[in-house]
Structure 1
Amino acid sequence: MKLLLDFLPLVLFFGAYKMYGIYVGTAVLMAATVAQMAIIYAIDKKLTTMHKATLALILIFGGLTLFLQDERFIKWKPTVLYTAMAVALAVALWVYRKNFLKMMLGSQLALPDPVWNRLTAAWVLYCLFMAAINGYVAAFFSTDAWANFKLWGYVFPLAFIVGQGIYVARHLSDEAPAEKTE
């Protein structure tokens, strides 16, 4: 169910884009993302920072796309989001010595600190890769090619998540993460 909810705005965008064009597709993406976040909030009673950032960027870049009638804004939104994620993770880890992945998932996964650090480094590289590939497609290909890439390009995150799962599974301990006592 969660996976369907994650992909729903993209699928609706793609369908609306193919039937009515980039501007209707953008409006549908914006509405679907608002609905998606409302459902997530109703289920979890909160939105993560990533959810909030995604929603804000879709509304801002989508709004600019519609207001200025310029499709470049919506096409570059993923590049901005992935770059921001890479910078945030990198600065947190290598400047402030904070591991956001461990902070978010450490209560669910018992992993040694070096594994958390390698996972974060992998996320930084993955986000930079995704930012670069989206930027390349947005800059040098047609809007049709970009929209197709957005739909079929989901092979990259799926492959990354599977690879990450295999890597994490090798390092999981049999013990549950220790509860913090104060």
Structure 2
Amino acid sequence: MKILLDFLPVVAFFVAFKLSADDMFVATGAAIIASVLVVAWTWWREGRVEKMAIASAGLMVVLGGITLLLHDDTFVLWKPTAVNWLFALVFLGSQWIGGQPLVQRMLGQQLELPDALWRRLNFAWIAFFAFSGAASLYVAFHYDRETWVNFKLFGMLGLTVLFVLGQGLWLARHVKQPDT
């Protein structure tokens, strides 16, 4: 359910773009509304919202709001890159802040890895987020808006699925087996 909520603003953007005859501003408004609703729903259901979800929604509201205010879609084109690069910076900073790389804090209950492998895995996530942000910018400024919107939903989702599957295969041998 959580992953569906995470993608709701992207899907709302995509659907609004397609239904509005490729209007970036209608799509931006839909994504802003969806982002706020996801944060509100999560808060209502769980009593808390993850910092990264708040950051992503905040960037959507700010960059999307500037897009609508100035009637210039450049700002919303930067949003996926800003989010991905923010994630890369957080993962990078976790190497030195908090005692463990962020990926180890997230997966440490399921996996036993030597410190060097945790750092390597953390750097893989840093590289993935940096690449994803750069790819979004490249598509945004070298192709038409329809291609970027399609890439934003299908391309970014596909890249994420491939990365997670590759990571899963690499990590499978380290998953803790339940005691029987």
TM-score of the superposition, structure 1-length normalised? 0.86
Aligned to 2:72, what secondary structure does the other structure show?
coil
- CA displacement at 1:86 relative to structure 2: 1.2
2:171 aligned to which of 168, 172, 176: 168
What residue ranges of structure 2 are gaps of 5+ in the alignment?
none
Higher mean alpha-carbon deviation, 78-87 vs 59-68, is at 78-87
Equivalent in the alignment of 2:26 = 24
Aligned residues: 174
- CA displacement at 1:74 relative to structure 2: 0.5
What residue ranges of structure 1 are gaps of 5+ in the alignment?
177-182
Equivalent in the alignment of 2:60 = 58
Higher mean alpha-carbon deviation, 39-48 vs 7-16, is at 39-48
- CA displacement at 1:175 relative to structure 2: 5.7
Equivalent in the alignment of 2:112 = 111
Describe the shift of the 1:43–1:118 C-alpha distance in structure 2 as closer, same or farther (beyond 3 A).
farther
Equivalent in the alignment of 2:3 = 3
Equivalent in the alignment of 1:142 = 144
Equivalent in the alignment of 2:103 = 101
TM-score of the superposition, structure 2-length normalised? 0.87
Q: Distance in 2 between matches of 1:33 and 1:165?
A: 29
Deviations 1:107-162 (A, max 9, x none): x3232233321221110010011011001011111111111111221100111122
The percent identity for this pair of structures is: 35
Q: Distance in 2 between matches of 1:32 and 1:125?
A: 28
Q: Give, as a single letter, the amino acid of the residue that structure 2 aligns with 1:17.
A: F
